[in-house]
Copies of this chain bind each other. A is one copy, B any other.
Amino acid sequence: MKADLECLPCFLKQAFEAARMATDDEMVQRRVLDEVTKLLPSLSLDKTPPKISRGIHQLVREASGTEDPYRGVKEKYNRIALSLYPELKDKVKASDDPLLFAIRVAIAGNIIDFGIGLDFDIDRDLDRVLGAEFAIFDYGEFKETLTRAKKVLYLADNAGEVVFDRVLIECLDKEVIYAVKESPIINDALTDDAKFCGIDKVVQIISSGVDAPGTVLGLCSQEFLKYYNDADLIISKGQGNFEVLSDEPKPIFFLLIVKCSVVARYLGVKVRDIVLKKRSG
């Protein structure tokens, strides 16, 4: 899907949040914000939002002189998520439909997001999401595709969220490739985060080669694209991956919490809704 006019103020808000993560110096924050502001009028909205916000976050990192503004929060949420792991596993085990509950868990992990600026509180939101109605629920198709699948590719989203993904992956009973981002972009999971969350104990981790907040295929490594093209089930986490892959002709299932009104309108659902959606068409 393409970006919307409404994304422009949101990009500036994201730049502000990133600048605040990068430095406490308000002079630097203002300089970063002014640099991003000057970029906005020249932006074409004919691209996906993650492709555009990649450039914006690059500029923030350069203008603030900070390699990884979100490192601290990534570490924090890796730790918090790991501490929840035993409880999540117990809940899956106690569930009537462990696979479905594990899907809920994986989606619930998507609350950990510093990109879009939607407030979150793990304790409050975890229970809400675990008990929420699905706004889109292609569960039947998911089970069917999973049953036949031999090569499952799992596209990670954020640090911390990896633990929740692990709970789902451990339910799939398949060989899974877990793809993370190549280098720092917002709080997206990198290889180190995935390892810290222990997912290397159950699956192989690869990098997509991308430094955008979504798996932009044109930026992916050849190695990743081989897995992508061969996969007979792709599990895509989060809104960023949805934004870049919504129109791709692949067996993709999108697991996400809807975080903004642009995507909500596109999907015909509401902000904060939870979605398990087969790629249409």
Binding site for B on A (CB under 8 A): 5-6, 8-10, 12-13, 15-16, 26, 29-30, 33-34, 37-38, 40-41
Chain B residue numbers with a CB within 8 Å of A30 are 5
A176 to B38, CA, bound (A): 48
Can you list 15 A-B contacts (CB < 8 A)? A5-B16, A5-B26, A5-B30, A5-B33, A6-B16, A8-B16, A8-B37, A9-B10, A9-B15, A9-B16, A9-B33, A13-B13, A33-B40, A37-B40, A38-B41
A119 (CB) vs chain B CBs: closest residue:
B271
Question: Could you say how many copies of this chain the assembly holds?
Answer: 2
Q: In the complex, which residues of chain B have a beta carbon less than 8 angstroms from the beta carbon of A8?
A: 12, 16, 33, 37
CB distance from A29 to the nearest CB of B (A): 6
> Chain B CB within 10 Å — which of A9, A13, A15, A38 has the most?
A9
Measured in the bound complex, the distance between the Cα atoms of B12 and A37 in whole Å is: 10
Q: Which residues of B contact A34 (CB under 8 A)?
A: 40-41
Q: Which residue of B lies closest to A26 (CB)?
A: B5
Assembly CA distance A33 to B38 (angstroms): 12
Q: CA of A37 to CA of B35 in the docked complex: distance in angstroms?
A: 11
Residue of A8, A10, A34 with highest tally of chain B CB at under 10 A: A8
Nearest Cβ distance between residue A12 and chain B, in whole angstroms? 4
A84 to B162, CA, bound (A): 49
Inter-chain pairs besides A5-B26, A37-B40, 19 sampled, C-beta below 8 Å: A5-B16, A5-B29, A5-B30, A5-B33, A6-B16, A8-B12, A8-B37, A9-B9, A9-B12, A9-B16, A9-B33, A10-B13, A13-B13, A33-B40, A34-B40, A34-B41, A37-B37, A37-B41, A38-B41
Closest Cβ of chain B: how far from A87's Cβ, in Å?
A: 27
In angstroms, Cα B30 to Cα A125, docked, is 35
Residues in B with CB closer than 8 Å to A33 are: 5, 8-9, 40
A5 to B37, CA, bound (A): 13
For the complex, what is the distance from the CA of A5 to the CA of B32, rounded to whole Å? Answer: 11
| Chain B, residue nearest A13 (CB) | B9
Closest-by-CB residue of B relative to A45 is: B30
A40 to B34, CA, bound (A): 8
Chain B residues contacting A16 (CB-CB under 8 Å) are 5-6, 8-9
A26 to B37, CA, bound (A): 20
Closest to A39 in B: B37
